[in-house]
């Protein structure tokens, strides 16, 4: 696909602005270099926090977290993207702050351990520890983007405890074979290629039949209400459709909305692209509905 003619100019500009932070000679497995570039990029796109929002750092069961907003009966637990090797509390700080402000619900961002220093199941164990502690007294809604969305889906498919109120997954990897459909059509899409996707999976570890690492292997019949917001120009797009079909076949509730003309990582373009802004608004509206019992 010729993305230079298919994508609108605001998304093309966003892609170019993002890629400017990655030196041409940066090796894919230079994780220190990749993290430094990713952190600079995330800081560049940071849109600030809404005025008056209280933000505090802390720990839950030994896992570093960041609290956005005053405590509410329902809490949105956010897992950041970054292929399980990049990112942290700072990289998605403004996203979490805006979600808290738009929904009026406290957001807890989880700083789970990263590969390759901490391979699977470290991230899953950290996320599960935070959720178990919070579930003792509060309703839980899961939300995440990219690898974080995959992590949420793995938790949802293995969860034993008080019913989850829902999950919102933004361009997730859900564990189907990277063949056919969008994996072929968008194998070389901007900001995430199929080869990069495979590389992140190899570094993280885990097996295809381990539901803690592979969401499609979980108990899809017992999923909470699940809403997936995928990007059209993303090798992962059809992962969402396959997950939806597999869940519906066993009675699970999964809804998919495609971000037409959007690429993987579009969250950072929400203040630069009307398409991205509209999609982000729909996400915060859905989170509000889930948190308030709809």
Cα-to-chain-centroid distance, residue 255:
16
Active-site residue identified among 91, 109, 146, 230: 146
As a whole number of angstroms, the distance between CA 283 and CA 278 comes to: 9
Helices then strands (H, E): number in the chain? Answer: 10, 8
As a whole number of angstroms, the distance between CA 278 and CA 259 comes to: 9
Active-site residue identified among 94, 111, 234, 238: 234
Would you call 44 a catalytic residue per the annotation?
no
> CB of 140 within 8 A of CB of 134?
yes
Coil, strand or helix at 273 = coil
Alpha helix stretches (DSSP H) within 136-273: 147-156, 182-185, 194-204, 237-249
Would you call 264 a catalytic residue per the annotation?
yes
CB-based burial, 204-231: b 16+ in 10 Å, e otherwise: bbbeeebbbbbbbbbebebbbbbbbbbb
Alpha helix stretches (DSSP H) within 55-146: 93-103, 122-135
Active-site residue identified among 80, 186, 237, 264: 264
Would you call 210 a catalytic residue per the annotation?
no
The token duo for 267 is 């969250």
**Which residues belong to the active site?**
146, 234, 264
């Amino acid at each position: 696909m010729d993305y230079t003619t298919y994508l609108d100019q605001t998304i093309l500009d966003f892609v170019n602005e993002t890629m400017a932070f990655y030196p041409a000679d940066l090796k894919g497995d230079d994780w220190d270099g990749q993290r430094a570039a990713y952190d600079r990029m995330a800081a560049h796109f940071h849109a600030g926090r809404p005025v008056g929002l209280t933000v505090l750092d802390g720990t839950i069961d030994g896992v570093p977290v960041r609290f956005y907003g005053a405590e509410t009966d329902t809490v949105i637990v956010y897992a950041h993207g970054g292929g399980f090797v990049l990112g942290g509390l700072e990289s998605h700080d403004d996203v979490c702050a805006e979600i808290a402000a738009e929904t009026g619900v406290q957001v807890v961002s989880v700083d789970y351990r990263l590969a390759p220093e901490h391979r699977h199941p470290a991230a899953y164990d950290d996320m599960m520890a935070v959720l178990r502690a919070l579930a003792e007294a509060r309703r839980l809604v899961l939300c995440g983007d990219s690898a974080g969305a995959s992590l949420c889906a793995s938790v949802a498919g293995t969860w034993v405890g008080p019913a989850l109120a829902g999950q919102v997954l933004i361009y997730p990897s859900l564990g189907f074979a990277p063949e056919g459909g969008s994996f072929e059509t968008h194998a070389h899409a901007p900001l995430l290629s199929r080869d990069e996707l495979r590389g992140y999976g190899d570094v993280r570890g885990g097996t295809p039949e381990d539901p803690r690492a592979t969401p499609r292997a979980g108990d899809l019949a017992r999923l909470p209400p699940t809403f997936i917001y995928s990007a059209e120009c993303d090798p992962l797009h059809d992962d969402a459709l396959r997950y939806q079909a597999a869940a519906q076949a066993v009675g699970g509730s999964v809804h998919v909305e495609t971000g037409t003309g959007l690429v993987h990582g579009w969250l950072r373009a929400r203040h630069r692209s009307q398409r991205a802004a509209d999609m982000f608004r729909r996400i915060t509206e859905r989170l509000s509905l889930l948190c308030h019992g709809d």
